[in-house]
Each structure stands twice: as structure tokens, then as C-alpha cells.
Amino acid sequence: MLPYPVLSLCLVLMWLLLNGFTVGHLLFGSMVAIFAGWAQAALRPDKPRLRKWYLLPKLFVVVFVDVIRSNIAVAWLLLQGKRRENTSGFLLVPLKIEDPTALAIMAVILTATPGSAWLEYDSGDKTVLIHVLDLIDKETWAATIKQRYEALLLEIFA
């Protein structure tokens, strides 16, 4: 009945802290907590299957280096102060990844890297729309994403 009892208990306690303790609030908060637990259980995805888990440290290092490098590039771009012609733009990248966990990790990587943001994934076309702050060469960006992240994620999850 309670798939996440700690979550339900915390929700009831938070409800009572915010609304004050009455029998009505206790009953209503309990109902909300039970339904929230059921909703959370329905949203729980399947466990990810890591085929080559030993490649995860390599992915972490690649992402860490790219985030640092991208932070420096964005800071340099902002500190220059000279406004080049509008180089920001949108990029549509076709992906081979189908695993939902791998797609979520790719979204986090691209959004956490300064200067880029994952905007939309089209599961029909298997393409992702990305906004890039300093987009000079679309093919280079797409190749970088496919070679640095997608290839490694495909190895890990496929």
C-alpha cells in the first residue's frame, strides 16, 4: 500500500508543519502522501543495464575535463567584451542511443556543460535539439557530441 513509506511520512509531516496540526489536515495530508507514493511508484523507470560499467570513470573524466574547458571558454568569451556577430544557434544532432538512462545522462552532460543546453529530443527521428552559445561549425559540434559522449554511452549501455 505504501511503496515509499519514508516519502509518505515526510510528506505528511511537511503538510502538518505547513498547515498546522488538525485531524482534518492529518487525514488530508495522509491521503495526499499515499497518492503521491503511488504516483512515484508508477513513474519509477526500469533499472539501467550497465554492460561495461568499468567505462564510467572514463566518462566522468571526459565530462569533467569538458566542463572545465567549457567554463574557461565561456568566461573568456564573456570577458573579451567584444560582441562578435551572433554566433549562438541551434543544432540538430541525430543519435543512435535509445536507452532512456543513457539519454538522460547525455541530457545532463550537455546541459551541465556551459555554453550548451539540451532542448528537445524527438524519439521518432532520434534527434536532439541543442542550443550552443558559440556555434561556429555545426558539423564539428555534432561530431564532438557523437564521438566524445554518444560513443562512450553506447559502449556503456548497449
Query: Residue ranges per domain, the chain?
Result: 5-43, 53-157
Can you give the pLDDT at residue 107? 93
Is the pTM above the cut of 0.85? no
User: Which helix (DSSP H) or strand (DSSP E) does residue 132 occupy?
Assistant: strand 127-132
The residue among 18, 14, 16 whose CA lies nearest residue 26 is 16
pLDDT tens by residue, 6-55: 889 999 999 999 999 999 999 999 999 999 888 888 887 777 788 888 99
pLDDT value, residue 15: 92
Whether 158 has a pLDDT exceeding 80, the answer reads no
Determine how many CB atoms are found less than 10 A away from the CB of residue 22.
11
**Mean pLDDT value of segment 91-106:** 91
DSSP class of residue 86? Answer: -
CA–CA separation, 133 and 147 (whole Å): 20
Provide CB contacts within 8 A for 116, sequence distance 6+: 70, 110, 130, 131, 132, 133
User: Residue range 59-82: average pLDDT?
Assistant: 87
What's the grid cell of residue 116? 550548451
Q: What is the DSSP letter of 97?
A: -
pLDDT at residue 137, rounded to an integer:
84
What is the pLDDT, as a whole number, of residue 42?
Answer: 80
